[in-house]
Structure 1
């Protein structure tokens, strides 16, 4: 760890999701002058549940922040058993979750719990809200960012952690574009103490144009048992953005929900609308680079992928860990640090992306995924 009295870089991190927060936390501990910019007005706390695989928990552990991984594990539920069912609810297979000796467990956890755990360790003075990126510029002496409200920042290194609709990424890889995977997706969290319990994860195998999963989130801060669900409906992507946005305000279509086992469909239907989010499913083609000059990418900005392998958030946390280590090795040379980061991470994330897309596109889909050029950051 660099001393606060030693060499320090001026570093901007754009995007206060999990990867941006973990990197901010590690770099502030190294003594760098970090500024964390987020387009939202306040620290992020949105989302539903996630399966954070053991490798993701391990990345948090290796960040070396005392008590951080223990707090994370306490906020989640250890995954115990995976169940695969057909759409009418009959069991196809059940298997216990593997945990190798000496490794942390995989976690079923609410995204907001991960964000809260990380925020508790970050210096709040580093956060700057309402900062939507308008332009980025760099030369041999430094890098600058202009925000849409007229504010600006100048420093030594810029990291884009601003998600799948990243504006920073368009500087690093202007050829970057999105690939539509074929689904309109709804996710929700509902009070439930009987459908999913004891670390269960249920998958309803894809068929008849739908796919669904459910998993136990344990109890919330009020002691209420919670279940996360995801429902995927195969649809063509409307050409007009206004229609895309309109459809994301709708609940799951009754005809699609009727294809699912009745008890599972009833749990989805019982979820308050305020606890449901919807989006269209995209991933990214593997990028030829993760950095250029003094600008680098981590997380979904660099390698957004489908949820089929549960590697998206984990890959971002690993990115943050590798980026922090590269800067510890080159504390006064941001270009060398980004070069080391890219050399290590590029083949790893390409492997993750290719595996996730292969599984996502496997048998059971009635529609072929569609390629789409980069959408703006305000895309649905």
Structure 2
């Protein structure tokens, strides 16, 4: 007799978890609070660790058919000079094609949804709390519905209701900067893939399939500061005036309505994710800043290892403890490294920025960056 799993949250992590749990023999139900399943209009980088995990879930070939692989990027100055090429170290497959795949977040969500089955997801259903006994767990929803199962996974994001139910309320940490993102039709041969670092601001650009570019911009700012009074697009053009091509052209080519704006947050690492028959996954467990490009990658890794642990041990509480023991040290380090990278990248003091540029040009930093990247993208599944 199969066991029943309840997943709260129908994003990338929740859908990946559902695929893995089905393969481990669970009957799965997903509950999403939004009225429809959709992702924001931005790109997502899937590094080698996530690609191997997607292969374990049986969806890598579909993902490759929808994405762009093999882009080599780097860190640049606002006038376009290269500071440091992005490298992944000397272990395993270090060709760009084996390291990173970039695709639209909505396209990744869609292929995961196709794999798990759209009838598995109930939308417009907000979880308000959970209750447990020694034998199972019950999710309570805003509409009065209650659903019971053998296992519950909270994959409900930065402000997770499941996390709060298990460990109490706590505010997320503001990372000190805000970000704008967009996808725009563009000649990707004109791009300079990677990030450009200025004083307290950055601009990133990557090519996508079907002649589209994904770009993002950051600025050190007070929490909740909002957009400039003269508009989001014009404010960005003013902020990045005279930066190397095609920065201004990318902004100019984007409709104002297509530019997303969000403050950036993370949370300190938890010492445990699981209580009884319930646990956390993805941003609900370890929200991180996007500076290492590992948010979705780590969520997909979580999904595969969660399924492995539950398949190896029929005692669900013990399997969940095994899962968190395998995942917490790694994800905690990625959270810390992402926050550290954000802090350095957002420096605004002129002397600090000159020092940063000198460091990035040094052979020592290049070697350390390669080692760090190699560790981070080495498959863990």
Match of 1:44 among 6, 22, 38: 38
Residue aligning to 1:342: 324
Shift of 1:262: 5.7
Q: 2: CA distance between counterparts of 1:218 and 1:83?
A: 20
Residue aligning to 1:320: 303
Q: 1: CA distance between counterparts of 2:77 and 2:307?
A: 44
Tell me if the contact between 2:188 and 2:213 (Cα under 8 Å) persists in the aligned partners.
no
Tell me if the contact between 2:24 and 2:308 (Cα under 8 Å) persists in the aligned partners.
no
Within 5 A, what are the aligned runs for 1:263-302? 263-302=246-285
Shift of 1:202: 2.4
Residue aligning to 1:222: none
Cα shift readout 1:97-135 (whole Å, capped 9, x = no counterpart): 779339944101111111111112112221111011112
Tell me if the contact between 2:232 and 2:256 (Cα under 8 Å) persists in the aligned partners.
no
Tell me if the contact between 2:5 and 2:152 (Cα under 8 Å) persists in the aligned partners.
yes
Shift of 1:226: 0.4
Residue aligning to 2:48: 54
Cα shift readout 1:19-53 (whole Å, capped 9, x = no counterpart): 11111112223331211000112223434102111
Tell me if the contact between 1:202 and 1:215 (Cα under 8 Å) persists in the aligned partners.
yes
Cα shift readout 1:179-201 (whole Å, capped 9, x = no counterpart): 1111121100011114556xx62
Query: When the two structures are superposed, what TM-score results if normalisation uses the length of structure 2?
Result: 0.83
Tell me if the contact between 1:210 and 1:232 (Cα under 8 Å) persists in the aligned partners.
yes
Tell me if the contact between 1:187 and 1:278 (Cα under 8 Å) persists in the aligned partners.
yes
Q: 2: CA distance between counterparts of 1:140 and 1:47?
A: 42
Tell me if the contact between 1:79 and 1:97 (Cα under 8 Å) persists in the aligned partners.
no
Residue aligning to 1:233: 219
- Higher alpha-carbon deviation: 257-266 or 296-305: 257-266
Give the superposed CA RMSD.
Answer: 2.5
Which structure 1 segments of 5+ residues have no match? Answer: 1-6, 220-224, 368-380
Q: 1: CA distance between counterparts of 2:74 and 2:228?
A: 34
Give the secondary structure class of the aligned counterpart of 2:63. Answer: helix
Identify the structure with the greater helix proportion. Answer: 2
Q: 2: CA distance between counterparts of 1:302 and 1:111?
A: 20
Give the secondary structure class of the aligned counterpart of 1:266. Answer: helix
Residue aligning to 1:203: 195
Provide the aligned length of Structure 1 versus Structure 2.
344
Shift of 1:71: 0.9
Counterparts in 2 of 1:89 and 1:126: CA distance versus 1, 3 Å = same
Identify the structure with the greater strand proportion. Answer: 1
Give the secondary structure class of the aligned counterpart of 2:160. Answer: coil
Tell me if the contact between 1:176 and 1:285 (Cα under 8 Å) persists in the aligned partners.
no
Cα shift readout 1:313-349 (whole Å, capped 9, x = no counterpart): 1110000001101111123x22111111011111111
Alignment partner of 1:309 is 2:309? no
Residue aligning to 2:243: 260
Tell me if the contact between 1:37 and 1:127 (Cα under 8 Å) persists in the aligned partners.
yes
Residue aligning to 1:14: 8
Q: 1: CA distance between counterparts of 2:345 and 2:119?
A: 49
Give the secondary structure class of the aligned counterpart of 1:87. Answer: coil
